[in-house]
Amino acid sequence: MIFSHFLRWVDEAPAAKRRHAASALARAWLRSELDPAERIAAEAALIRLADDPSPKVRAALAEVLSLSAHAPAQVIAMLAADQIEVAACVLARSPLLSDPELVDRVALGDDAVQQFIVSRPTLSRQVSAALAEVGGPSACLALLNNRGARIADVSFRRLAERFGQDAELRGAMLRDPRLPAQCRHILLRKLSNALQAMDIVTACFDSDRAAAITEEACLCATLNLADGLPADELPALVEHLRLSGALTTALVIRAVAFGKVDMFAAALVALSGHSAAQVRGVLVNGRASLVATLLRAAGIADTVHPPLIAALHAWRDVAVGRLAAGPRDVSRIMLDAVGPASDAMPYANDDLAALLRTIHVEAVREEAQERALEIAAA
């Protein structure tokens, strides 16, 4: 009977009193032992309050019920779909909102709705995927900063594709240890494009020179990225490079020159279709003719074979202690393998020779910098 009286009273009570009554009724629901009949009546009263014309009444109800796993599910659903002043605490805290409900709210809500959802202490991969797909920049930045959010690799990729040009979001992604290597490469390309478009770059260089400089920097960064990867993650990165068109001959040559033989092997697996075991066997023990056959199967032009084979033999000797050499020496060996050059007789392959000269100069510079640091530290 008390709830029937309440329902009659609530229609005529002022908003302030209804707000206090809503809060009291919600606490009673959560703390009191109600028999089945009373619980049904109390739920009807709560549903009535969740539809109250005053947002202050609905907000008072939401504040009490938002943290409880025992709140009426129907009431929580109504409050979650309410205006943001009412829905905020429910979206941010209620354990009763299922993943499909949260996904719907992300898809249908504005940035404020997304911000409250992303502030939840934990987020499933499903909800994170929805935010990565349709969330605004601020919500996606909050998602990356929420260490309780589970983010799948495909969602990281979507974030990189959508917001790689945004410096703040790009930085947040690059700082995240969960970011897959292929997404880091996507961001490297985005950063390269951003640098190429900077006013200071366009003022100092023509478009071709700027493109060449940024491409060179991107190649170096890609090799550094691959160098720090666990062996089981390298094939995924190489496959991403292949599919995106970034697994170029220039990258392969640079990898070999700097001793990234594992990356070279993964590239040959991806390009040739041979198994990792077959490729590894040829690279470790195969004669020059077998290596050339493997390179040909990978689609690498015959003109590039001599420096690659020469470098591979050099790194084999380094591995077994027959040769003490580094990238500076190996890049010189590769350049010599292209063939002698003079003023009267230029290199047979000018483009390849120019690339190898660039790599050699870079290797010399890196070695000099390392020696200077060693001397300074001594």
Band of pLDDT at residue 343, cut at 50, 70 and 90: very low
Greater confidence (13 vs 131) lies with 131
Q: What is the pLDDT of residues 34-86, one digit of tens each?
A: 777 778 888 888 898 898 889 999 999 999 999 999 999 999 999 999 999 99
**Tokens 């493109």, residue?**
211
Cα dihedral sign, 289-290-292-296:
positive
Residue 66 near residue 57 (C-beta atoms within 8 A): no
* Alpha-carbon distances of 47 from 16, 95, 178, 360, rounded to whole Å: 18, 19, 43, 75
Q: What is the pLDDT of residues 296-321, one digit of tens each?
A: 999 999 999 999 999 999 999 999 99
Q: Does residue 108 have a pLDDT over 50? A: yes
Q: What is the pLDDT of residues 139-175, one digit of tens each?
A: 999 999 999 999 999 999 999 999 998 989 999 999 9
Instruction: Report the SS3 class of residue 149.
Output: strand
Across the chain, mean pLDDT equals: 87
Q: Please give the model's pTM, rounded to 2 decimal places.
A: 0.75
| Selection from 144, 226, 229 nearest residue 188 by Cα | 226
Q: Residues with Cβ < 8 Å from 129, sequence gap 6 or more?
A: 152, 154, 155, 158
* Alpha-carbon distances of 215 from 97, 179, 196, 285, 373, rounded to whole Å: 47, 22, 9, 34, 27
Q: What is the CA angle 369-370-371, rounded to 5?
A: 90
Greater confidence (26 vs 296) lies with 296
Q: Residues with Cβ < 8 Å from 276, sequence gap 6 or more?
A: 235, 265, 266, 269
* Alpha-carbon distances of 374 from 324, 360, 364, 371, rounded to whole Å: 19, 21, 15, 5
